[in-house]
Each structure stands twice: as structure tokens, then as C-alpha cells.
Amino acid sequence: MKNLIVLLALLVAGGVFVAGCTTGDTGNATPTETPGATETATAEVTTLPTEAMTTEMTTEMTTEMTGEATETSTETGATANIVDTAAEAGQFTTLVAAIEAAGLTEELSTGGPYTVFAPTDAAFAAIPTETMDALLAAPEGELTQILTYHVVDGEYFVADLATIGSLDTLEGSALNISVEGDTVMVDGAQIIETDIPATNGIIQVIDAVLIPPGVELPAAGATDNMTEEATEEMTEEVTEEATETPA
């Protein structure tokens, strides 16, 4: 009987010890090791792929944007500025000469972007030769006003112009834009060739020279009058010098 009691006591004590060990192991493993492993795994799963994905997305976006810009540049076909493009076209000889005479070459070559409504040589031919000579003889006056009246800040394709009623020019006055059927008109001049690209803008070809409000073209024979006045002035100066010179 005594031996049985001792045996039972040993069994009870052993059971308590085993239970304590099991509870301790489970308690230590559950609250400490499992959350640590979860946090590490979460960091590895979320952080590394996120950085890789961000880098990859940035690279793809940059490539797409660069590709779009290249395609746009290629599609326009622009290889020269407005003045050089007009000169190479061969139908704007008078316009290019007038731009050079007025000192606007640098601005229209490096400034912008601009939209230029460019009259052809045939359009300038409608102006009397004497009048053109008078304009070129004093380019800082009416000629500069006329030329800047053909230039607008910004790039406007003919499709854009069809929806716009007017545009402010570099001269300061506004151009009236209208649509007649399939034709776009600018101050009564017809756009006969559209959307010629340049590196600093667009050229729209028109069939008439535009005259800004308040500007009057020099009358025919104005050049002759200017020449006569200059001759008279020179004659007077020579006469005065001869009079003042002692005999």
C-alpha cells in the first residue's frame, strides 16, 4: 500500500513537470517566434518587390515618354527653323527678303514657337513694285508692322484655326479667322497650304499680304519722292559747304 502511494505521487509529479514544460514551450513559441517570422516574411514580400516594381515602372514610363517625343519629332519632319524653312521652300523669296530687311531674321529663327501666315511671292506680286521698294527703303516702319501682323505666338494647326475666331499678332492687332466651307480664311486671305512644320513653329501659306488696321501702304512713286528729297538735301549740304569755304 505504501509503495502504491509513492508510485502515484511520482506519477502526479511527473505529469505536472511534463505539463509545465509543454506549456512553457508553447507559450514561448507562440508569442515570440511566430510574430517575428511573420514580420520578416511580410517585409521580404512587400519591400523588395515594391522597389523592383517602382524601378521597372519608372523605366517603362521614361522609355514610353522618350519614344513618344521621338515619334512626334519624326512625324512633323521639321529640320529647320521658320526662316530657313521658308527660304528652302522657294515660294517665299520676297517674304524672306522683307524679314531680313526688317531685322526679324534672328527672332523668327530662334524665338517662338510661332505660327506664321506666309504670303507667297505671287501674293507680294499684287503689291506695286514702287510700293514694295518704298517699304523696303524704310523697313523699320510700315514693313515691320506688316510682317509682325503675319506672326502669332504659339503653334496653330489648320484644324485648330477652324475653331478660333481671332488671334492676337506680334504687331498687336488681332487677325480674324473664319471658315467658308472647307476653306479657312485669315483676314480675307485664303490658307492655300497648311501645317508646314519648322523647328520653332508652323507655317500656314496664304494667298494675299495682310495689312494691319491703321497702316497705309506707301503710294506709288513714294520711292522717287524719297530719292528727290535725298538729292535736294545733299545738294543743299554741298552748297552750304562751298559757301562756307574761303576762296
What confidence tier does 218 reach under pLDDT thresholds 50, 70, 90? confident
Distance CA 236, CA 27 (A): 120
Q: For residue 49, give Cα distances in angstroms to 55, 59, 61, 63, 185.
A: 10, 15, 18, 21, 58
What's the angle, vertex CA 78, arms to CA 73 and CA 84, rounded to 5?
A: 155
Answer whether residue 143 shows pLDDT above 80.
Answer: yes
> What letter does residue 219 receive in the DSSP assignment?
P
CATH tag, 82-230: 2.30.180.10
C-alpha grid cell, residue 1? 500500500
pLDDT digits 0-9 by tens, 164-181 = 999 999 999 999 999 999
Check pLDDT > 70 for residue 216: yes
Q: 134: how many CB neighbours lie within 10 A of its CB?
A: 23
Domain ranges of the chain: 1-76, 82-230
- Whether the per-residue pLDDT at 4 is higher than 50: the answer is no
Residue type, 170: L
pLDDT at site 232: 53
Evaluated on CA atoms 214, 215, 218, 220, the torsion sign reads negative
Compute the Cα dihedral for 82, 88, 94, 97 and give only its sign. positive
**For residue range 103-131, what is the model confidence (pLDDT) as tens digits?**
999 999 999 999 999 999 999 999 999 99
pLDDT at 57 over 90: no
CB–CB of 211/117 below 8 Å?
A: no
